[in-house]
Amino acid sequence: MTVYEKLQELKIELPVPAAPVAAFVPTVRTGNLLFVSGHIAKREGQSWAGQLGNGISVDQGRKAARSAAVDLLATLHHELGGLAHVKRIVKLLCFVNSAPQFTEQHLVANGASELLQDVFGKDGLHARSAIGVAQLPLGACVELEVVAEVA
């Protein structure tokens, strides 16, 4: 099954990537590594704003992380000219907008990690860190950045 068949099976439609809202580019390739810019979680095209432990539940956070991962796939698809060029998701860094007492950043990040594995199989298995940050651009509840191996 190709990655695109898998996306279809999961009923995931890749959105058109939004242009960065600031002075940077979506991805930079160096050798076989692709560094992907931070993707904030969005809902209906706007920042998915809020804070875990303060109005956003773990389940909502997981969905936001999954949604940001879908946007990230759309960026990879668009920048590489197809997801078949992704050889491996190497590293995921998941920033979770966290109230002072919220300590389940890893569960939120799973929303992204599981999507990447659902889509890429074992090539989607990645190293990861999940951390709780004080705030994120546009108040987003989650932001993801990725390093991928590409061909």
Judged by the rule CB under 8 A, the positions of this chain that interact with a copy of itself are 20-28, 30-33, 35-38, 49, 88-93, 95, 98-107, 109-110, 113-114, 117, 125-139, 143, 145, 147, 149
Residue 80 or 117 with smaller CB distance to a copy of itself: 117
How many C-beta atoms surround the C-beta of residue 16 within 10 A? 8
Q: Is 134 within 8 Å of 95 (Cβ atoms)? A: no
Residue 31 or 81 with smaller CB distance to a copy of itself: 31
Measured on CA atoms in the order 56, 62, 64, 65, is the torsion positive or negative? positive
The structure tokens listed for 70 are: 């879908």
Nearest distance from C-beta of residue 99 to a copy of itself, angstroms: 8
Question: How far apart, in whole angstroms, are the C-alpha atoms of residue 73 and residue 127?
Answer: 17
Nearest distance from C-beta of residue 132 to a copy of itself, angstroms: 3
